[in-house]
Homo-oligomer: A and B are copies of this chain.
């Protein structure tokens, strides 16, 4: 199985599907192609939340503001999964979740001559602007067919010691306050913070202060009236600022990167 994730919108992902299908019979499953544009941190967050729900698979991930520069193309092997991605950190948070105690391996994808590449697809020169199609998609097919646990045996992959790491900012706390920030907002307008949900998990039915104003804490959206704001724990187990059938980012007046202080 190969999953596909990108910030390409449409129709570019179809070219990646075609290139993969030229080379392998693997099952293809789209994750999303509207990940926040060229936002490596937000992409890393969503992949960490979504990919672990899949069975063992090769995950093709292309959020690549550095396309055409000398950043590496890598494969991160984490447990029974492999993530094929640019070396910009996007694959690391999900690798940490898939492989306990940072026991993941990173490989560099060695550039291959299209003239000698396997398969009968049109031999083209690599473009400078679309490595999703020209580098990452062929590599994902290759990882799938070589086998996630056999990468050491293939000259297309070389162990890589140094890679770009990415960690989400950690919240801090003092007495009865926690200081965090908005990591991402979702399609519903929910503002998802980096504050762990257990901070409010014993306060459902009460209120907390967020950025100086008081709000109800509730176990789920429908516990408050439609249009009413609430502080809840999202499916990602972080504190989430939401509105039942509305947009939390508007009610709480926050955007990605904004500080969030919760106080009792």
Q: Which residues of A contact B (CB under 8 A)?
A: 1, 3, 5, 8-12, 14-15, 17-19, 21-22, 28-32, 34-35, 37-38, 46, 49-55, 65-69, 121-122, 127-130, 133-134, 186-188, 219-223, 226, 232-235, 237, 240, 244-245
Contact = CB atoms under 8 A, between A and B. Distances in A.
Contacts of A21: 1, 29, 54-55
B52 A129 contact: no
A127 B18 contact: no
B15 A122 contact: no
Nearest to A134: B235
Contacts of A18: 29, 50-55
B232 A65 contact: no
Contact of A65 (B10, B15, B245): B245
A130 B240 CA distance: 13
Question: Looking at A11, A31, A67, A245, which has the most chain B CB atoms within 10 Å of its CB?
Answer: A11
A1 B25 CA distance: 11
A15 to B, nearest CB: 5
B68 A222 contact: yes
Given A15-B50, A18-B53, A129-B232, 10 more contacts: A9-B187, A17-B54, A18-B29, A18-B50, A21-B29, A55-B121, A129-B234, A129-B235, A129-B240, A134-B235
5 A-B pairs with the lowest CB-CB distances in the bound complex, closest first: A68-B220, A9-B187, A130-B235, A18-B53, A11-B32
